[in-house]
């Protein structure tokens, strides 16, 4: 009997040790690097299983959800943003900088005169919820081509006006998602100017990835060769602070 | 009966994968503990179920971290999904499925099912010829045929990066939020199986059962001391 008891305690004990080890591995530097490698594999595998420009599903107007939830920053108060809201973003500028032959700067009116794409898509937050909305704006590829992206550019950084808990929000994608046809700089939601909680006046749509990649309150994009010197080096606000996966396709 | 080496290897890899998946899944559930049907849903008023918050001792890691829980969840999804695929191929190849899990029509007679239930209620686990009984076949069939593949398929359907290729799968489940709800229900279905499975192993000679699943020796389940096996026909009480 005591032999059985001992065996049972060993079984239970080793089980508890294994579960405790999961937390320890997660918290270690080596564990963090390991999971970043896993993230790379998952991106490679997902991309191998679909066409490069395969589209996220688009919905019919009757599928649009009655409201569109805002998350993260929903009413930025920093760096003059409230003043921009007051004067209807008349002085807002959107810049294209970094590894481009011709840096560009746009007013909102100029953004509206570019060729537009409208898409009704589903937004999936990493937390688990989803909402459906209709977005309109120019494709990011149009701006990258106009600015003549240089050959050494590998990533596009999204610069944002909102400061969340003391850090400037930013995000990044590689050129595969940057040139995807559904990757647009949206200025409208459901036919109206973007509400403040959803990222007025401009936000990204990266339709094959989770919500935190869809940067809001966009002030510009910057083409770079590496993510190492941007922010804390992990490619995004949540990636830097909370260890979120840079590739957010899962 | 004797377990195939493929069964034994898969069983333990799958146990580790499923425990980590379940506990990291509970951590992920804490991020937005509401479940919806259809394509969308984002506020408690739209939810069909408000899920309780799971305490740290039930989750991986043992504190709330959506990012680290997702790291573990998406890592263990691989041994889980590919292990299941390998196990199905092995079961079909070596005859385990045909011989032990597939039911015959005569087993679906109500009198046979009732006899099997009565036998379980008497804690009588002996079964002749080393075969699984009807309830075991149904349980393993539901786990291998519905719950385990259900976890993999609903999990794939939640992934926005897979949807450009797997949109039809999301449609079959009735939308992404339905797939997410079914993912949750399948997980608790598996938890229910896990509890009953462990209980029955404990009642039917756990040392011999464990040895058979680790070392692969021949093993017949034994009855607990309080079992009341039916007397053979004709014998008076």
**Would you say residue B98 lies in a domain?**
yes
Alpha-carbon span A44 to A38, nearest angstrom: 10
**Would you say residue B224 lies in a domain?**
no
Alpha-carbon span A63 to A180, nearest angstrom: 23
**Would you say residue B23 lies in a domain?**
yes
Alpha-carbon span A80 to A87, nearest angstrom: 11
Under 8 Å between Cβ of A95 and A110 = no
Residue B236's pLDDT is what? 45
Q: Choose between A16 and B136: higher pLDDT.
A: B136
A113 in contact with B at a CB cutoff of 8 Å? Answer: no
Which helix (H) or strand (E) segment holds residue A221: the answer is strand A218-224
A95 in contact with B at a CB cutoff of 8 Å? Answer: no
Mean pLDDT calculated for residue range A114-137? 98
Alpha-carbon span B115 to B118, nearest angstrom: 5
pLDDT digits (tens, 9 = 90+) for A159-197: 999 998 889 999 999 999 999 999 999 999 999 999 999
SS3 category, A39: helix
Query: For B34, left (φ over 0), alpha (ψ -120 to 50), or beta?
Result: beta
User: A55-242: what fold?
Assistant: Sulfite Oxidase; Chain A, domain 2 (3.90.420)
User: Which of A9, A17, A22, A59 has the most B C-beta neighbours within 10 Å, making it the best mutation to test the interface with B?
Assistant: A22
Please give the tally of structural domains in chain B. 1
For residue A169, report the phi and psi dihedrals to the nearest 5 degrees: -70, 140
Range of the domain at B193: 5-214
Residue A1 in this model has a pLDDT that exceeds 50: no
Residue B225 in this model has a pLDDT that exceeds 70: yes
Residue A35's pLDDT is what? 94
**Would you say residue B230 lies in a domain?**
no
Under 8 Å between Cβ of A185 and A152 = no
CA distance B138 to chain A (A): 29
Alpha-carbon span A30 to B174, nearest angstrom: 40
b (16+ CB within 10 A) / e for B104-114: eeeeeeeeeee
For residue A84, report the phi and psi dihedrals to the nearest 5 degrees: -60, -40
Which CATH number goes with the domain that contains B64?
Answer: 1.20.950.20
Instruction: Note which residues in 198-217 of chain A have CB less than 8 A from chain B.
Output: 207-210
- Cross-chain residue pair A18–B16, CB shorter than 8 Å: yes
**Would you say residue B226 lies in a domain?**
no
Q: Where are the domains of chain A?
A: 1-49, 55-242
- Sheet with A130-137, strands from edge to edge, namely A117-124, A130-137, A188-189, A192-193
């Amino acid at each position: 009997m005591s032999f059985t008891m001992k065996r049972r305690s060993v079984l239970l004990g080793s089980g508890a040790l294994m579960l405790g080890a999961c937390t320890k591995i997660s918290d270690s530097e080596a564990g963090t690097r390991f999971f970043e490698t896993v993230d790379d594999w998952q991106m490679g595998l997902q991309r191998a299983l679909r066409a490069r420009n395969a589209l996220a599903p688009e919905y019919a107007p009757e599928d649009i959800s009655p409201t569109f939830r805002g998350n993260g920053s929903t009413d930025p108060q920093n760096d003059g943003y409230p003043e921009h809201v007051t004067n209807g973003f008349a002085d807002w500028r959107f810049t294209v900088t970094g590894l481009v032959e011709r840096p560009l700067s746009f007013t909102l009116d100029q953004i509206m005169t570019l060729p537009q794409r409208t898409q009704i898509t589903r937004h999936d937050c990493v937390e688990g919820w989803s909402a459906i909305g209709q977005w309109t704006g120019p494709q990011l590829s149009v701006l990258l081509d106009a600015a003549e992206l240089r050959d050494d550019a590998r990533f596009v950084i999204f610069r944002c006006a909102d400061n969340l808990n003391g850090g400037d929000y930013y995000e990044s994608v590689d050129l595969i998602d940057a040139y995807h046809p559904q990757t647009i700089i949206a200025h409208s939601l459901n036919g109206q100017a973007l509400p403040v909680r959803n990222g007025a006046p401009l936000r990204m749509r990266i339709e094959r990835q989770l919500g935190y990649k869809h940067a809001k309150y966009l002030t510009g994009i910057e083409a770079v060769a590496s993510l190492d010197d941007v922010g804390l080096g992990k490619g995004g606000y949540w990636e830097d602070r909370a260890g979120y996966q840079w590739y957010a396709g899962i | 009966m004797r377990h195939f080496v493929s069964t034994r290897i898969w069983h333990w890899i799958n146990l580790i994968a499923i425990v980590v998946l379940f506990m990291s899944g509970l951590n992920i559930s804490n991020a937005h503990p509401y479940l919806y049907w259809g394509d969308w849903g984002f506020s408690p008023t739209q939810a069909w179920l408000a899920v309780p918050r799971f305490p740290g001792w039930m989750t991986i890691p043992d504190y709330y971290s959506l990012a680290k829980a997702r790291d573990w969840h998406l890592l263990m999804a691989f041994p889980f999904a590919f292990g299941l695929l390998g196990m199905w191929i092995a079961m079909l190849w070596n005859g385990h499925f045909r011989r032990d899990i597939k039911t015959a029509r005569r087993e679906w007679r109500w009198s046979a099912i009732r006899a099997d239930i009565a036998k379980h209620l008497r804690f009588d686990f002996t079964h002749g010829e080393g075969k699984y009984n009807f309830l075991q076949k149904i349980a393993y069939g539901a786990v291998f045929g519905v719950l385990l593949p259900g976890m993999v398929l609903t999990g794939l359907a939640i992934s926005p990066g897979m949807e450009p290729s797997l949109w039809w799968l999301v449609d079959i489940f009735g939308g992404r939020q339905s797939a997410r709800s079914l993912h949750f229900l399948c997980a608790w279905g598996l938890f229910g199986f896990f509890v009953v499975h462990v209980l029955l192993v404990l009642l039917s000679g756990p040392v011999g059962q464990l040895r058979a699943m680790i070392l692969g020796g021949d093993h017949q389940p034994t009855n607990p001391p309080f079992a009341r096996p039916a007397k053979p026909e004709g014998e008076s009480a």
